[in-house]
DNA sequence: CGCCGATTTGAAATTGGTCAAACGGCGTGG
DNA sequence: CCACGCCGTTTGACCAATTTCAAATCGGCG
């Protein structure tokens, strides 16, 4: 895959207010990396030398414990930034999480030190990054609360709603919102096991709330999920 | 309590590189609020009009669900900033969490909009904020992973170690590290119930790992806790 | 057609939560 | 100065949600 155009780069939130000159400058200091499904742009613990902008495909950001079990922190879609914490500060030397592709993917890799220097003279970039980080903090804090206080059923409902909002493609004919994720993916995103997710989705399919298949979940009644997600008790 | 001195303000990480003029300017646009134990500087959902610097006391940042159950996101100690997300971006209109005092406390309240404007012409401030936010993200992500993958025993061990690192006062005579928290506080910090925490601490006390009392936990063998925290399987 | 990985399902095990009740120490008011 | 009461803590018994393990089934692709 070749370098993106300046107009494409403006789809990146952080670059919204960037001048063409700035974008050119950034492109001159970056390179495109294409990798196939299930491989990694970087691993937890790698030196955080680059920040990435996803050009195509999908990436999940995961963290593992010493036993190799893993959780997904978020899903990255095209024109979103990932691996950016290393650029925000001099302290972070390594990535705190891994980035694994869910499909064949390409990303623009920008040197962290270059980007950091650029931010010093470009307040709009620093504010863009703070904006980004604020969003991360709010989402992960909310998910932390859910994990601590809600049951699996509610968390899965919340997760599906969130995924639908981030990626959902409404099929034509009111056929519902289609999500391309395996049971295992959903399990890692909700802090549950593959088995529990499978049972739950089967149950919801029987009730007509969703319709599902291999690595695919189609939300038929989003409102029902919203109800389940907010179910007090 | 009266306004802090410039030298005291320099204990605030974000202000490390601030000039005296800048600090004076900030002080002129801020005010001191003193409140008693168990009351709130702000509530989740309030308009995020101020960011705070704790001057004395201790504050817990909590998030509640619609049932009123709550989790603690972190503990704030003097010269740390809290309620800052509203200053980092134009988007955040409200605090995503509440700030409740664990003791009588005082804090310097700085207008969010003022601080945001100041950051536009002070890169060191923006970088300080990004630094702060990076730390938040790393800690909450780690805790999220623990909550998803580890059992209560390991999480409590991790929590006590973390608290010891953040606040711990080493008693003289190698008597251990003293933490001033109730069982309920620890429960909210680990995502467990008061009862489970009580049982676990009783067990550890029998084993000589800690020594505890009312709203007090003294870590006698930190290394044992480290072992428990990292116990694979 | 056969294989491989994803999914489903059952049964048993287990962690941790819930509820009820008793305990204990500290501060306060009589 | 002491008794009382409050609030945090402890403990037991029971229960429920979810995980674990095993095995069968499905579905698409080479």
Domain containing B177 — which CATH number? 1.10.10.10
Indicate whether B19 and B63 sit together in one domain: yes
Better-predicted residue by pLDDT, B76 or A233: B76
Which protein residue lies nearest to nucleotide C8, measured between its Cα and the C1' atom?
A: A198
Indicate whether B116 and B192 sit together in one domain: no
Write out pLDDT tens, residues A65-97.
998 899 999 999 999 999 999 999 888 789 999
Of B87, B120, B147, the residue that ends a domain is: B147
Indicate whether B157 and B171 sit together in one domain: yes
Indicate whether A192 and A93 sit together in one domain: no
Q: Sheet containing B169-170: which strands, arranged edge to edge?
A: B169-170, B177-179, B216-219, B210-213
Does some domain include residue A1?
no
Of B88, B121, B147, the residue that ends a domain is: B147
C-beta atoms of A140 and B138 within 8 A: no
Q: Which strand C nucleotides have any atom less than 7 A from protein CB atoms?
A: 5-11, 15-20, 25-26
The CATH number covering residue B140 comes to 2.60.120.10
C-beta atoms of A92 and B138 within 8 A: yes
Cβ of residue B213 near strand C, that is under 7 Å? Answer: yes
Indicate whether A121 and A168 sit together in one domain: no
Does some domain include residue B197?
yes
Count up the domains in chain A and report the number.
Answer: 2
Q: How confident is the model at residue B167 (pLDDT cuts 50, 70, 90)?
A: confident
* Protein CA B163 to sugar C1' C5 (Å): 44
Which pLDDT does position B232 carry in this prediction? 61
Indicate whether B33 and B97 sit together in one domain: yes
Does some domain include residue A19?
yes
Could you tell me which chain A residue has the CA closest to the CA of B187?
A148
Indicate whether B114 and B11 sit together in one domain: yes
When CB atoms are compared, the residue of A89, A96, A148 closest to B141 is A96
C-beta atoms of A96 and B150 within 8 A: no
C-beta atoms of B136 and A137 within 8 A: yes
- Contacts across the A-B interface (CB distance below 8 Å): 138
Could you tell me which chain B residue has the CA closest to the CA of A118?
B123
Indicate whether B59 and B121 sit together in one domain: yes
When CB atoms are compared, the residue of A123, A126, A148 closest to B147 is A148
Residue B13: domain span: 6-147
Indicate whether B141 and B161 sit together in one domain: no
Write out pLDDT tens, residues B109-148.
999 999 999 999 999 999 999 999 999 999 999 999 999 9
* pTM for the structure as a whole: 0.95
């Amino acid at each position: 895959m070749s370098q993106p155009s300046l107009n494409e780069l403006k789809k990146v939130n952080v670059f919204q207010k960037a001048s063409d000159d700035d974008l050119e400058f950034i492109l001159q200091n970056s390179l495109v990396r294409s990798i196939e499904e299930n491989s990694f742009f970087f691993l937890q613990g790698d030196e955080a030398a680059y920040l990435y902008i996803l050009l195509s495909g999908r990436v999940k950001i995961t963290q593992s414990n010493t036993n190799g079990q893993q959780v997904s922190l978020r899903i990255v879609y095209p024109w979103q930034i990932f691996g950016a914490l290393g650029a925000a500060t001099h302290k972070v030397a390594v990535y705190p999480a891994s980035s694994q592709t869910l499909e064949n993917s390409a990303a623009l890799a920008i040197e962290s030190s270059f980007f950091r220097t650029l931010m010093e003279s470009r307040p709009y970039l620093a504010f863009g990054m703070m904006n980004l980080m604020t969003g991360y903090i709010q989402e992960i804090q909310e998910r932390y609360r859910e994990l601590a206080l809600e049951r699996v059923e509610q968390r899965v409902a919340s997760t599906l709603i969130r995924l639908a909002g981030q990626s959902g493609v409404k099929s034509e004919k009111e056929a519902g919102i289609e999500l391309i994720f395996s049971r295992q993916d959903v399990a890692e995103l909700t802090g549950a096991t593959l088995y529990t997710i499978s049972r739950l989705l089967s149950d919801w399919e029987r009730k007509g709330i969703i319709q599902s298949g291999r690595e695919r979940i189609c939300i038929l009644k989003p409102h029902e999920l919203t109800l389940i997600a907010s179910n007090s008790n």
